[in-house]
Each structure stands twice: as C-alpha cells, then as structure tokens.
Amino acid sequence: MPLSERTANGRKAHQPVPGALLPRNRLPPICSSGFRVSLRGVGLSERKPREQDAPEIAAKHHLVSADDRSVRPERAPSRGRAWLRALRPLAQGNLAPFLLVGALEGRRFGLPVSPLGLALALLWGAADHAVIVLANDLADEAADRASRGATLLSGGSRVLVEGALARADLERGLRVALAALGAVTIAGALAFPARAAVLASASAAALALLYAYGSGPRLSYRGGGEWLQALGVGAVLPTVGAALEPAHALPLEGVTYVALVTLGLAGNVATSIPDAEDDAAAGKRSPAARYGVRRAFFLALALDLVAMALVAIARTPLALLAIPLFAGALVNARFLEDRARRVRAVYPLAFGGGAIVLAWALALAAL
C-alpha cells in the first residue's frame, strides 16, 4: 500500500495512512512523552518512563492522577491566615469577661457606665491579649517543637513550628502589640486623668507578670506560673476595667478579687492537662506535669466549684449555670489517662470556669 501522495507541485508528502505499518526505525511526528528520540544517522534509542519522571510528565501535560496528589503544586500559606492563628482571637474569651466584670461592678450600686471607658477597656484587653499570645509563642518555641500538637486550649498557635511565620515576624508583631497597649493606656489616662496612675500601674503590673511567667525567671517552667496567670486575669484585668469607669470606686470589693483569682487559677491548671507529657519532657513544671493529670483535673474542678459557690452566693445565681459543664467534665474524667481523648473532660471543665465569669458579667449588664 503506498505511503505517500503527490502534492500539487509534484513533490511527495509523506502522510501516514490509517492502518499502515511504519518502518521499524521511524516514529510518527507526535510520540509518547515517555520516549526519547535520537536521530543519529538511522539509529533510534528509546527508554521507558522512570518512576521519578512522573511529576515532570504530569506537569508538562497538566495531568494529575486522582490517586497521586504529590504532583499537585502546594498552595502557599496565607500570611493573613497565619497572623490570625498567631493572635488566637478565640482566646480573648479568657480575658474579656474579667475586664467586663470590673467595668460593670459599679452597676450593683446604681452607678453609670461610661461607653468610652468600656470601649477603652476592651481595646486594652485586645492589646494585652496580643502581647500575651505572641510573647508566649516566642518563649515556648522549643517546647512547642517537641510537642505532638496543639488543642483549642493549649499548645500555642504553632505558626513558628509549622513555618507559617518567622520568629522575626512575631518579634515585630510583639513590638506593635506593646505599642498598642501603651497607646491605649495613654488614651485612657488622657480621657480620665484621675485614673492615670492606676492605669499606668496596672499596665506595668501586667507586663511584669508576663515577663516573670515566660521570660526572665520563667516561672511557667520553674513552677508557680499558675499564680501569675491567676493574678493577671483575676486582679489586673478587673482593676483596669474599673479604672476606666470614673464613677466606680477602687479597689473593688475583696470577694470580687477572691472569686476572680480563684477562677484564673483553675483555668491555668485545667489548660495544663492536655500538654502534661510534653511539658514534663520539656522541663516545664506546669501544674499537670507536677501533680499528674488526674490530680490536676480534680484540683481545677474543686477551685471552680468554690468560685461558683462564692459568686452564686455573693453576686448572682446565674453562676450555677456552669453545673452541667462540670457534670460533663466528671462524666468524661474516665478518659484522662487517654491522651487522645482527655480533652473530652478538659473542655467542659475549662469552659465551665469561663461560663461563671461570663454569667457574672451578663448579670451586671442586665441591672
């Protein structure tokens, strides 16, 4: 069968005819990507595609196997999303209710609440929160790298561990957060000059507690860091909230400080439970690493129950709404020795303490 036809100018144009057999040493113009053609004289060499060639071939022809996702180009992580993780906005729930209790305590005596003061208190809390989470990520980088993971309550943001942000990025972010905290403190002092000294002292106390917790003495590693956190959230935060309400008296009543410090202490003990093994391996003497998971759990529960009773008697019975959460924590206490499932007990325990403070703040707002 002829393999060519004459063109209009009389030349022969080689065109494959369907069904025709090609000579051994000739290939059609388009051949498989897995073959290498070498036209040296009449010689031809070919090889089968190697396994390591698969990504190159797939990329060339825009092909990705449904079973082999390794050749799909990875999307670069968003820096905005990484910063959102680093700032851990959900953890603001650990600070804002304590600020609100301090800002609203005067309503028990019929005193007005300053909207400006309340807004400044929340801004101060947001800046302080940013300082805390960024400083803790920087201080705990080595321990976070050695840990197996993070939970909603512990383990840091892990942006350094996963390479989403560099250490220099967090250091710059920390400087910005410190500047914001100073700016809000100055704004509060200018808005309420009579409270300038209290605000400056509270800001200095917050930074001193943070320094002693994760830097300098590093009491979170040496032991006793839970008391620093308890004083920070239970004493400093409500004082800032009250200081930005010029009609309110300072200091707050003793029962307020006792209840809030107790809840702050319980919160630190509870959130140390998920990382007990990692903390012990890193030399961090957190409550759960020192006492063991089960003892830490029941210590946190006892502290929460004492605080709940105190708030329910002296402030508002709405604090008793935390009882179902504590009951759920007790039911799931059987999972404490199972590291993968112990959060079933820790989450309701930690959220129960937060619910007490939140119910207290809502009760004051409703007066």
Q: Which two tokens stand for residue 361?
A: 């703040």
How confident is residue 286, by pLDDT bands cut at 50, 70 and 90? very high
Radius of gyration of the chain (CA): 32
Task: Please state, in angstroms and rounded to a whole number, the distance separating the CA atoms of residues 92 and 26.
Answer: 72
SS3 286: coil
Could you read off the pLDDT of 313-339 as tens digits, one per residue?
999 999 999 999 999 999 999 999 998
| Higher per-residue confidence, 70 vs 200 | 200
Could you read off the pLDDT of 118-165 as tens digits, one per residue?
999 999 999 999 999 999 999 888 887 877 666 767 667 889 988 999
Q: Out of 71-80, 124-133, 225-234, pick the least confident.
A: 71-80
CATH T-level assignment (fold) for domain 94-365: Farnesyl Diphosphate Synthase (1.10.600)
Q: Out of 21-30, 118-127, 150-159, 292-301, pick the least confident.
A: 21-30
247 CB-side CA count, 13 A: 16
Could you read off the pLDDT of 356-365 as tens digits, one per residue?
999 999 999 9
Per DSSP (E only), the strands in 40-149 are none
Torsion of CA 319, 323, 326, 331, to 10 degrees: 180
Q: Which two tokens stand for residue 90?
A: 């959900």
What proportion of the chain, given as a percentage, has pLDDT over 70? 77
DSSP 40: B
Q: Above 90 in pLDDT, residue 264?
A: yes
What proportion of the chain, given as a percentage, has pLDDT over 90? 62
Q: Which two tokens stand for residue 354?
A: 């937060």
